[in-house]
Amino acid sequence: MTLARQKKPLHEVGARIHSFHGGLRLRHHKKISCGDPVEQPPLPELLSVPLTQHAGNAAAPLVSAGETVLKGQPIGRCQPCAQIHSPVSGVVEAIEDRPMTHPSGKMGPCVVIRPDGREQWTGLKPISDWKTASPESLIMQMQDCGLAGLGGAVFPTHRKARDGRDRRIHTLVLNGAECEPWISCDEMLMREQPDKIVLGARILRRALGASRVVIAIEDQMGAVEAALSHAAECAECQNISVVKVPKIYPEGGERQLIQVLTGLEVPLGGRPSQLGMLCQNVATAAAVADAVVEGKPLIERYITVTGHGISHPRNFRALVGTSFSHLVELCGGYTKDVARLVVGGPMMGFPVASDASPVVKASNCVLALTADDISDSQVEMPCIRCGECARVCPASLLPQQLFLQVRNELWNQAAEWGLAACIECGCCDVVCPSHIPLVEWFRFGKGERRKLAMEAEASELARKRFENREARLARLKLERAEKMQRRKQMLKDKASQQDRIQASIERARSRAARQAASTGKGPGDDA
């Protein structure tokens, strides 16, 4: 990763295909879940909607237990982040801690809703004519509808869009390069709803002030290319192109995709908007179309349920809050040799202890692995410094060096060697002959650095509070001293005034005495 200031692309974005360092060619295992059309599951008995589904702070609940809610009604608000909406009409059973769909496996606050089966919507507020609407009104609509990036990071869409507009980007990149093995939800979305994706791209282009849209897909997606190209043939779809990129994992990573399309690297610690580009997932574009044209909040998403541990893998358009167990049951259940349940793909996903965890905005896949798919039995050995991890690292890092620094808690050195630049793609884990869980170490290192940063921030805050307190006490002491000095001065001035009055009286008496002496009368004698 370079720290130098980047130049503009020499060619139009996507006109030439470039390469990035490292990467792997992996078997994708996507066909087994693409055989059936995407299905809308029947309503489950209960839905558990977490109040944390986005990058940032948790949303505050807007409803209480026993309250009746409508479909699409706001049930959680977080002002700078994405709002949370009810996926169904029904009754709020409880607001309580339940299993979260999170790598930590922690519990968290959830709104538990029992559907009433009526599917009655709240009053939706679409933008009647988005073509003439102001960009800010489009961005506010994204915020009100709870849109977040559906490619995995779930960064609030409105904040990313506002940053892109402020930086005056020229190209919007829609990421349809679904690089993780087994996951096919974006591919099925592009097959079935290409018109909605292109419409969302046009709305985003207006909101951002961009001049061009590039939809990037993997080079084996022939049917997807045809569907999207046909959707982009309308008279108002100028400068929207579909570009195929090589199937080399992790080409769907934001930084890697920008490099493939432009030959430029996003600066370390920077954003694609610094190069005049902004990336959004194709599913996010479809959600933008729903939010702006129909006023629908983000309450459902395409999700893949697959793996050798699933009887009949397929894709669903599932409501947020639906349990994974409900979807697995609709796939015919687990196979007898299922061993592990993973949310996401085999490279960057995380295991969950229970299939009671709910679908959230970030959930793109539920992967059931068998014992043959996992390699827990392989014993970790010492690093032999073979360099294979560095050869495949798409961020051009030295994972073996970072591993030693993290293991020895050399945090400053790890930061200098680019720990924050690791995208946790798992390529190093795959090729490591010593079976060292490098990504686990890097995640641990990042967590420790965050903890240290928080402690340093808390320490700095405490120092500032102490200094402010000392300054306040010193100021109060000075103010009391000045007040005391003013009181002393007032008393002194009062005494001086009384002395002047007494002196005047004495002068008057003396004058009267002199006058009496000159006339031969005492001061009290009559004339």
Q: Name the residue type at position 38.
A: V
Q: Examine the pLDDT at 165 and tell me if it is beyond 90.
A: yes
How far, in Å, CA of 397 to CA of 389, rounded?
9
Listed residue (93, 89, 85) closest to 50, CA to CA = 85
Give yes or no for a contact between 422 and 444, defined as CB atoms under 8 angstroms apart.
no
Nearest in space to 175 (alpha carbons), one of 183, 295, 167, 141: 183
Residue type, 325: S
**Host H or E run for residue 464:** helix 438-519
Where is pLDDT greater, at 80 or 468? Answer: 468
SS3 (DSSP) at 342: strand
pLDDT-wise least confident of 106-110, 139-143, 396-400: 106-110
Q: Rounded to whole angstroms, how far apart are CA atoms 324 and 340?
A: 13
Q: Which of 192, 256, 187 is nearest to 219 (CA)?
A: 187
Contact 364, 186 (CB under 8 A): yes
Q: How far apart are CA 211 and CA 215, in angstroms?
A: 14
pLDDT at 2: 40
In sequence order, the 6+-apart residues with CB closer than 8 A to the CB of 454 are none
Question: pLDDT band at 521, cuts 50/70/90?
Answer: low
**Parallel, antiparallel, or unpaired: how do β-strands 212-218 and 240-245 relate?**
parallel
For residue 262, give the H/E element and its range.
Answer: helix 254-262
Q: What interhelical angle do 194-208 and 222-231 show, nearest 10? A: 60
Confidence of residue 363 (pLDDT cuts 50, 70, 90): very high
Q: What is the pLDDT of residue 518?
A: 79
Residue 56's pLDDT is 65
Does the pLDDT of residue 154 top 70, yes or no? yes
Reduce the DSSP state of residue 282 to 3 states and report it: helix
Q: Flag whether pLDDT at 524 surpasses 60.
A: no
The pLDDT value recorded for residue 55 is 65
Is the pLDDT score of 108 beyond 60? Answer: yes
Q: How far apart are CA 167 and CA 156, in angstroms?
A: 17
Q: What is the mean pLDDT of the chain?
A: 91
How sure is the predictor about 428, in pLDDT bands with cuts at 50, 70 and 90?
very high
Task: Using the predicted structure, report yes or no on whether residue 54 has a pLDDT greater than 80.
Answer: no
pLDDT of residue 526: 54
Mean pLDDT of 417-446: 94
Least confident of 2-6, 161-165, 402-406, 455-459: 2-6
**CA of 490: how far to CAs of 480, 486, 493, 504, in Å?**
15, 6, 5, 21
Query: How long, in residues, is the chain?
Result: 527
Residue 179 has a pLDDT of 92
- Separation of alpha carbons 285 and 262, rounded Å: 22
In the predicted model, what is the mean pLDDT of residues 143-159? 90
Which pLDDT score is estimated for 160? 92
CB count in 10 Å sphere of residue 250: 27
Which stretch, 50-54, 251-255, 327-331, has highest mean pLDDT? Answer: 327-331
Which H helix or E strand runs over 68?
strand 68-69
User: Averaged over 394-419, what is the pLDDT?
Assistant: 94
Instruction: Report the pLDDT averaged over residues 11-18.
Output: 82
Question: Are the CB atoms for 298 and 200 separated by under 8 Å?
Answer: no
> What is the value of pTM for the model shown?
0.84
Give helix then strand counts, H and E, for the chain.
Answer: 13, 16
Tokens, residue 223: 């049917």
Domain with CATH 3.40.50.11540 in the chain: 1-22+126-295
Looking at residue 166, its pLDDT comes to 93
Predicted local distance difference test score (pLDDT) of residue 100: 85
Q: In the numeric block, which tokens belong to residue 310?
A: 């699933």
Question: pLDDT at position 190, please?
Answer: 97
Looking at the chain, the domain(s) classified CATH 1.10.1060 span 375-519
Burial string for 102-118 (b: 16+ CB within 10 Å, else e) reads beeeeebbbbbbbbbee
Distance separating alpha carbons of residues 281 and 152, to the nearest angstrom? 9
Mean pLDDT of 153-168: 91
Three-class DSSP labels, 109-158 = EEEEEEECCCCCECCCCCCCCCCCCCHHHHHHHHHHCCCECCCCCCCEHH
| Residues forming a β-bridge with 295 | none
pLDDT over 70 (residue 467): yes
Split at pLDDT 50, 70, 90, the class of 1 is very low
Q: What DSSP character marks residue 290? A: I
Please state which CATH class domain 375-519 belongs to: mainly alpha
Dihedral of the CA atoms 418, 424, 430, 432 (nearest 10)?
Answer: 30
Cis peptide bond upstream of 297, omega within 30: no
**pLDDT above 70 covers what percent of the chain?**
95
Q: Which CATH architecture has domain 1-22+126-295?
A: 3-Layer(aba) Sandwich (3.40)
Confidence of residue 330 (pLDDT cuts 50, 70, 90): very high
